[in-house]
Amino acid sequence: MSQDATMAVEWRLGKILAQRASGADPLSQSELARRTGISFTTINAIAQGNTARVDRATLNALCRELRVTPGDLLVYVPDAPAPPSKRRKSVDA
């Protein structure tokens, strides 16, 4: 399966961290990496939506540290419908 702009599942980690940045207990990507043992590079890729897959241990560590469920971290976004095809009208001879 090729990775393209019509990915149906999106990560919300970046939004969650941005919301928490202005709260009473701000949490940076670096601090999240330190607390979970997940590399900063992986945290950053997930936060930017630049990863095609994440293993269950990573998802579990994120959920545990952020006190969220997988449904809070991932959201289903339906693919945009394909544009109608432009068929040529047949010409009868």
Domains of the chain plus CATH, in order, are 9-68 (1.10.260)
Q: Which residue has the tokens 């630049």?
A: 50
pLDDT digits (tens, 9 = 90+) for 14-73: 999 998 888 777 899 999 999 999 999 999 999 999 998 999 999 999 999 999 999 999
Report how far apart, in Å, the C-alpha atoms of 79 and of each of 9, 28, 66, 82 are. 9, 31, 28, 9
End-to-end CA gap in the chain: 43
Helix (H, G, I), strand (E, B), or coil: what is residue 76?
strand
Q: Residue 78 has what pLDDT?
A: 84
Q: Residue 92 has what pLDDT?
A: 61
pLDDT digits (tens, 9 = 90+) for 74-91: 999 887 676 776 656 656
Contacting residues for 77 by C-beta, under 8 A, at least 6 apart: 7, 8, 9, 10
Which DSSP symbol is given to 78? P
Q: What are phi and psi of 88, to 5 degrees?
A: -80, 140
Distance CA 81, CA 76 (A): 15
